[in-house]
Amino acid sequence: MGKENGDTTENMMGKRPKVIAVMPAYNASTTLEATVRDIPPGSVDEIILVDDASRDNTVALAKSLGLTVTAHNRNRGYGANQKTCYDEALKRNPDIVIMIHPDYQYDSRLVPHINGFLESGVCDIVLGNRIRTRREALASGMPGYKYISNRLMTIVENMLTSQNLGEWHSGYRAYTAKVLRTIPYHNNSDDFVFDTQFLVQAVYFGFRIGDVPVPVRYMAEASSVNFRRSVTYGLCSMVTILKYVFAQAGLIRPRIFQLKGDTK
C-alpha cells in the first residue's frame, strides 16, 4: 500500500534544487513584508502568494515586493488556497515547495535549514515544530486550550499512524515535488482540516516525515482559528485519523486515499 521513495531526491542530485515558496494569504498586509524580508537571500527561486479574496491591500503589496500573485475572486478557504498554491508551484517544475504563512507567525529565516533535510534525502516532508517545550510554547502566546489540544491530538495521531512527530498541526511545511505530484490533495477539504488530511495521506502513501523546532510569534496581526473553529478542526482531524485506521485495515477506501484514475 505504501510507495517506495528511494528516488525522491533523484532530480536534485548534482545540481542546486529549484525551490518555490508558497504563501496562502488572507488579509496579510501588515505582516507580509516582514515575512518576506526574513527569508534568507538565495534560499528560494520564486515566491508565489495566493490571495483568498483579502479585504486589505495584500495583493498590491505582494506585487510591489516582487512576488508572483494569484488571487481568488471569492474567499474559498484555507485548504482551497493551498490547492492553488501547489498547483501554481508544480507548473514551475520545482524540486522543493515550502509553505510559509505570510502572517509572520513562523520564523522564515529557517527556510534553508528546513529545505536541507529534503535536499539531502533524509525526509520527503519537513514540518516546523512549534512546541519544543511547554514553557516556550505558552510564552510565545499560544493559548492554553490550543496547547493542550495540540498535545493530546498529536499523541493520538502519532500512536495510530506509527509516527513520532513533535506536532501534527504546524502550518510551516516543506515537500519534495514528488510528494505533491503523488498525493491527491484535490480530494481534500477546502477548510483547515486539509492539513491533517495531507499528513495522513503522506503516511498512507509511505512518505518520510520529519520535523525541526521553530520559534513562533502569536500576536494580534497573526492569523488564528477561533475556539469554535478549533473544535471543529479537532473533530474533523480525529475523523481523518480514524479513516486512515480503517483504510489500513482494508475496511474502507476513502476518497482522500484514492489516486487519480483509481476506481477501486
The pLDDT tens digits of the residues spanning 9-58 come to: 445 556 889 999 999 999 999 999 999 999 999 999 999 999 999 999 99
Q: Confirm whether 3 is domain-assigned.
A: no
For residue 134, the SS3 value is helix
CA distance 199 to 212: 16
Residue 263 forms part of a structural domain: no
Mean per-residue pLDDT for 141-151? 92
State residue 12's pLDDT score: 58
From the list 225, 260, 251, the residue with the least C-alpha distance to 78 is: 225
Provide the H-helix boundaries in the chain.
32-37, 58-64, 78-90, 111-119, 134-139, 144-161, 177-182, 194-204, 227-248
CA 246 to the chain's CA centroid = 24
Position 5 in a domain = no
The reply to whether 134 falls in a domain is yes
Q: CA 226 to CA 259: how far, in whole Å?
A: 33
pLDDT at 4: 43
Instruction: Give the CA radius of gyration of the chain.
Output: 18
Q: Is there a domain that residue 11 lies in?
A: no
- What pLDDT score was predicted for residue 14? 64
31: nearest Cα among 59, 2, 58? 58
Indicate whether 213 belongs to any domain. yes
List the grid coordinates of 27: 488579509
The residue segments making up the domain with residue 32 are: 17-257
Cell 527556510 belongs to: 111
Comparing 97-106, 130-139, 170-179, which segment has the lowest mean pLDDT?
130-139
150: CATH: 3.90.550.10
Contact between residue 48 and residue 88 where contact means Cβ atoms under 8 Å apart: yes
Find, among 213, 125, 127, 111, the residue nearest to 168 by Cα. 127
Q: What is the pLDDT of residues 184-215, one digit of tens each?
A: 999 999 999 999 999 999 999 999 999 999 98
Question: Is residue 4 in some structural domain?
Answer: no
Would you state the pLDDT for residue 260?
Answer: 72
- Count of domains in the chain? 1
Q: What's the CA gap between 29 and 247, in Å, rounded?
A: 42
Instruction: Specify the pLDDT at position 7.
Output: 46
Assess contact for 18 and 47: CB atoms under 8 A: no
C-alpha cell at position 194: 486539509
